[in-house]
Amino acid sequence: MSSTLNLSTLRVMVTGGSGFLGSFVVEKLKERGCEQVIVPRSRERDLRVRGDVEKLFDETRPDVVIHLAAVVGGIGANRERPGEFFYDNLMMGAHAIDVARLRGVRKFVTVGTICAYPKHTPVPFREEDLWNGYPEETNAPYGLAKKVLLVQGQAYRAQYGMNISYLLPVNLYGPRDNFDPKSSHVIPALIKKCLEARDAGREEIEVWGTGTATREFLYVEDASEAIVLAAERYDGDEPVNIGSGSEISIRDLVGLLCRLTGFRGNVRWDATKPDGQPRRCLDVTRARRLFGFQASTSFEDGLRKTLEWYEAHRSRAAGA
């Protein structure tokens, strides 16, 4: 089912709107003429606290909510803070959805995670396979917390008729990403590592795992367009993959980044560290069919834009 909302006439709240993905979603909304975009700040209203969420909704009276707020990180951060990743993500989403229902919000878009998929999902990942196994262990608490929000949304649609939809974005990358090596994902972590090694004249970099795992990546501007399209056009209970539909091995990714950054040294693989999920690649036909989304940025072009941004902002980027 699809229905079209003219977002330019509505008050749109973007939780996590000052973050990496959120900042691009806010820009997409403003490009569409949205003059009433609400970006709550965690220092003012803690989404983990029910009372704060109620006050936020009462103060801002949103018509539409795009829920992006999340505690996220790479494999290392997920292994170190599994309890935090589970509790914080579950509570933020559960409170936001329930209060939105009680306040009569017209549309709620929940942005989940590819980490919700089972560890050995057949490639390409199809939404029908979402419940056919347990997620990859290193990020299962995060993935499951986000997956519970899908169940909540479907239950609220069934009982209360709530217009709530759920998206499953693949690994994102792009300008403004988190480059702090303690919590960053694979692309910003590798960019930072390659550039620092190049500039210091090092002969070698070390990379976690064996390099055999594959990943699919989506440029952040494409992801933000998909989210806004879903807010405008999609009213259904089926979870929807958001991705580019292609995969690359970590070994090939490292080779590509070495070339783009100009690092000419050797790569040493630390096989004692985890690879994470063996393969990740999405079937993206549902997003195209239901609300017309198709990624438009080539992977190499996206990487070049990310590199250009980071080199221009290294002194201010996290962990630089």
Model confidence over 88-144: pLDDT tens digits? 999 999 999 999 999 999 999 999 999 999 999 999 999 999 999 999 998 999 999
CB atoms within 10 A of CB 252: 12
Cα 179 from Cα 84, distance rounded (Å)? 21
* pLDDT at 42 (0 to 100): 85
Active-site positions? 142
99 close to 59: Cβ distance less than 8 angstroms: no
pLDDT tens column, 29-53: 999 999 999 999 988 999 999 999 9
- In angstroms, how far is CA 89 from the centroid of its own chain? 13
Please indicate, yes or no, whether the overall pTM of this predicted structure exceeds 0.75: yes
* 168, β-bridge pairs: 241
Kind plus residue range of the DSSP H or E element containing 217:
strand 217-219
Does residue 20 surpass a pLDDT of 80? yes
22 close to 68: Cβ distance less than 8 angstroms: yes
DSSP class of residue 295 equals -
**Which CATH number is associated with domain 7-174+217-245+281-296?**
3.40.50.720
Does residue 73 surpass a pLDDT of 90? no
Confidence of residue 76 (pLDDT cuts 50, 70, 90): confident
Q: Could you tell me whether strands 171-173 and 217-219 are parallel, antiparallel, or unpaired per DSSP bridges? A: parallel
pLDDT tens column, 140-155: 999 999 999 999 999 9
- Of the chain, the end-to-end C-alpha distance in Å amounts to 46
pLDDT tens column, 217-245: 999 999 999 999 999 999 999 999 999 99
Domain ranges of the chain: 7-174+217-245+281-296
Is the omega angle on the peptide bond into residue 278 within 30 degrees of 0, that is, cis? Answer: no
* φ, ψ for residue 234, nearest 5 deg: -110, 125
Percent of the chain surpassing pLDDT 70: 97
Is the omega angle on the peptide bond into residue 124 within 30 degrees of 0, that is, cis? Answer: yes
